[in-house]
Amino acid sequence: MVDHTPARDEVVLEAQGLTKRYGEREAVRGIDFRVTRGEFVGFLGPNGAGKSSTMRMIASTSPRSGGQLRMFGLDPANAGARIRARIGVVPQNDNLDSELTVQQNLYVYGLLFGLPRRHVRARAAELLEFVQLTDRADAAVESLSGGMKRRLTIARALVNQPELMLLDEPTTGLDPQARHLVWERLYRLKAEGVTLVLTTHYMDEAEQLCDRLFIIDDGRVVASGSPAALIGEYCTREVLEVRVPEEERPRVVKAASKTAARVDELPDRVLIYANSGERALAALRGDGLEPLNTLVRRASLEDVFLRLTGRSLVD
Ligand SMILES: Nc1ncnc2c1ncn2[C@@H]1O[C@H](COP(=O)(O)OP(=O)(O)OP(=O)(O)O)[C@@H](O)[C@H]1O
């Protein structure tokens, strides 16, 4: 569709000490990031971490309170319109025009960007094909499912052939099938060389899609790197999850702590970090402990977040 031939290591997006204040409240507290052309980058963090505020500053729709921010080398403080012409935005809440049909939503947006009428028609047809909504072109927006609305919002964000796509929680509220369809389209955009930045609080989404992540908590970047590098740096290879009766917990924690790299207690289970979950379990059994329920799994970004913040990503 669009050929944004990647120039090696061309910086598309850069922030230093970026802050956002709403009155007394500092929602973004001095964050640094740098995104190069063709990368797929994610801001991962819980609700209220400051992800949307950061995205709105990048989208050049909300002014920064402090620090530096550049998109394509331009400063949104004085080149907002030029920046907005080169980016596509998928906001957290679909803001489609429900009075219009699917196709009309794309036309209107194209005309807003000043694209010629004939060009807009061709572009709309191409985009409906891309998001698999061709057969719904004349349907009312209201009749679409949540997943279809999301895809239409993505199509709309692509009207101006953006070099940079910003997606704020693109799959929140979608069922697994609808999510996978969105993911698949995002992969395609990446393959075409579009630079993508998304926010999410879904660790699987972050892990599946992103080349690089910035983990955000309480307005700060607490870690960054590829999903694999983050897991490698902050976790063991495996995690043994055990459920034990309340009264046995202290013994389990004590026994596991002898060999495991780390032990975390959650309200409903104990997480034992070890390179071999099976061996950790054998060690517990060797100490005469038999958990009610056990699960050995690969370490995930959720574990990284827990390690970094002492809290779970999902409420
Ligand atoms: N327009 C606003 N006015 C005042 N406070 C705001 C505004 N927008 C966000 N906040 C506050 O700033 C903090 C960060 O919010 P933000 O929406 O950026 O976080 P988030 O990580 O995107 O979370 P969510 O996933 O819930 O959107 C929150 O405490 C929020 O209440």
**Residue ranges making up the domain that contains 17:** 11-226
19 plus 148 within the same structural domain: yes
247 plus 183 within the same structural domain: no
Total structural domains within the chain: 2
Evaluate whether residue 197 is within a structural domain. yes
Please state the ipTM of this predicted complex: 0.95
Evaluate whether residue 4 is within a structural domain. no
Of the candidates 59, 6, 53, 46, the residue with the CA atom closest to the CA atom of residue 29: 53
Distance 59 CA to ligand 1 centre (A): 15
Measured by CA distance, the residue closest to atom 8 of ligand 1 is: 53
Evaluate whether residue 5 is within a structural domain. no
Over the stretch 246-276, which tens digit does the pLDDT of each residue have?
888 999 999 999 889 999 988 889 999 999 9
- The amino acid that residue 289 corresponds to is L
Which of ligand 1's atoms lies nearest the C-alpha of 201?
Answer: 25
110 plus 195 within the same structural domain: yes
Over the stretch 113-140, which tens digit does the pLDDT of each residue have?
888 988 999 999 999 999 999 999 999 9
Res 7 pLDDT > 80: no
H/E element holding 102? helix 102-112
192 plus 279 within the same structural domain: no
Q: How far apart are CA 93 and CA 105, in angstroms?
A: 16
Quick check: 69 and 33 in contact, CB under 8 A? no
CATH number at residue 255: 3.30.70.980
Evaluate whether residue 310 is within a structural domain. no
Evaluate whether residue 202 is within a structural domain. yes
179 plus 251 within the same structural domain: no
Distance 44 CA to ligand 1 centre (A): 14
Evaluate whether residue 74 is within a structural domain. yes
64 plus 195 within the same structural domain: yes
DSSP for 85-132 reads TTEEEE-SS----TTSBHHHHHHHHHHHTT--HHHHHHHHHHHHHHTT
CATH number at residue 188: 3.40.50.300
118 plus 254 within the same structural domain: no
Q: How far apart are CA 150 and CA 178, in angstroms?
A: 9
137 plus 57 within the same structural domain: yes
217 plus 240 within the same structural domain: no
Quick check: 50 and 66 in contact, CB under 8 A? no
Confidence of residue 201 (pLDDT cuts 50, 70, 90): confident
Please tell me the pTM assigned to this model: 0.88
153 plus 282 within the same structural domain: no
Confidence of residue 5 (pLDDT cuts 50, 70, 90): low
Instruction: Say which residue the tokens 């590098």 belong to.
Output: 229
Q: Is the CB of 31 under 6 A from ligand 1?
A: no
64 plus 134 within the same structural domain: yes
Evaluate whether residue 128 is within a structural domain. yes
Which comes out higher in pLDDT, residue 152 or 7?
152
Q: Is the CB of 51 under 6 A from ligand 1?
A: yes
Structure tokens, 169: 């929680």
Half-sphere exposure at residue 46, Cβ-oriented, CA atoms within 13 angstroms: 14
Evaluate whether residue 307 is within a structural domain. no
